[in-house]
Chains A and B, each alone.
Chain A
Amino acid sequence: MAELLLLMGGGVAAGAFGALLGLGGGVLIVPLLTLGFGLPLREAVGASLVCVIVTSSAAASVYLQRDVANLRLGMTLEMFTAIAALAGGLVAFMLPDRVLAVMFAALLLYVAVTMVRARDARDARDAAGASNDVGPGADEHPERLPAGTEPAGDGSLAASLSGPGYRVRNLGRGVVGSLLAGIVSALFGIGGGIVKVPVMNLIMGVPMRVATATSNLMIGVTASSGALIYLFRGGIDPYVAGPTAVGVFAGASLASRWADRIDLRVLRLLFVAVLIVTAAQMALRGLG
């Protein structure tokens, strides 16, 4: 019983942290299950994929009903994330646990560096007197159309995927980013938003808010494509995945109510420290 409560509590913490910091929580769930509960890496990844789908479905539901997520763009890129997740899932069952652990450590370090750099960029904008800060990697796309303008309907695929006030560009590079996101998702049990959001925002010209919402929508299909491989190959333990997913869902739901009351700068620094320590432990697990 104590183990069950601890597992759910860990899930609540991972879900809350993930939601407050705009991450799916997958980067925390895998280390929690492997380092905290001694599970094999592949089982941890399988459970993490389940958690990622639950939180993505709940969040994407809200984003779609508020007309923030771009359904057409998301589904077009999903073709590639889903196929890549299938490949990633198959590769994950071929790689030794130790190799996966070292690769996961590298991923954690990448996320930590990204978060520090996003913070620095935000501080620089604040110092320069920027008035409309909307978070890390904020709208840096030159093809923003005047407010209320619809993108030109020239019949091209990119034009048909554009939304109110912005025009989608660099679709080819978006496809490459989507393939990468799908592989990363299935290999490491994460949603892949750390790849998709910057690609959509910085390369494809999608506003940050829409990119985040659309990435959330895509995560469900990407993760379920990988999760099906884990499910049928015995990589999902219901006694672990069930309680963790319930905990993560509860944590993410609670966090959405606390978001306004918590100093995210302190939380972000704490999170970066946790990521670095966890990366070191995962690297030791892989190399030791």
Chain B
Amino acid sequence: MRAAGLERTVGLVLGIGAMVSVGLLGIGVIGMGAAQVGPLDRPFLPFDLGRLPADLAGLKPTGFLWLGLLAVILTPSIRVIASLLGFAAAGERRMVAVAAIVLAAICLSAAFGAGG
């Protein structure tokens, strides 16, 4: 993959990620309005990946909101993976290592966060 092509591809990944995220969040917000759920209703249920499929299947606003939030937070990671693959295809070993370290740092954040 040529350098300029890589930049465009990575840009496209980010653009699609942003649109999908906002779309999912938008559906969740409309669901909040329809279900008369206030944004300040406390306490809120913290993120639980295991509950997500059931919430989505039940068309609950929280399901779409959490999926949208996950899409938001993971979009930059997907961009890093796309860059890593692009650099690997172009034979840029130094940048492959850089992308791998960035990805590792993000994974470490998730591990520290989940580890409590």
Interface residues of A (CB under 8 A from B): 1, 3-4, 7-8, 37-39, 50, 53-54, 56-58, 60-65, 67, 69, 71-72, 75-76, 78-79, 82-83, 85-86, 89-90, 157, 160, 220-221, 223-234, 236-243, 245-246, 249
Contact = CB atoms under 8 A, between A and B. Distances in A.
B50 interface: no
Contacts of B98: 72, 75-76, 79
Contact of B106 (A1, A225, A239): A225
Contact of A57 (B75, B80, B83, B95): B75
Interface in B1-54: 4, 6-8, 10-15, 17-18, 21-22, 25-26, 28-29, 32-33, 36-41, 44, 46-47
A240 B28 CA distance: 11
A7 B77 CA distance: 28
Given A71-B7, A239-B39, A83 B105 contact: yes
A38 B39 CA distance: 12
A220 B21 CA distance: 13
24 contacts: A8-B29, A38-B40, A50-B69, A53-B75, A54-B22, A61-B18, A65-B7, A65-B11, A71-B83, A75-B83, A86-B112, A89-B113, A157-B94, A220-B79, A223-B76, A230-B113, A232-B114, A233-B116, A237-B39, A238-B69, A239-B39, A242-B65, A242-B69, A245-B25
B55 to A, nearest CB: 10
B39 A3 contact: yes
Which has the most chain B C-beta neighbours within 10 Å: A65, A226, A239? A239
A224 B76 contact: yes
B65 A64 contact: no
B89 interface: no
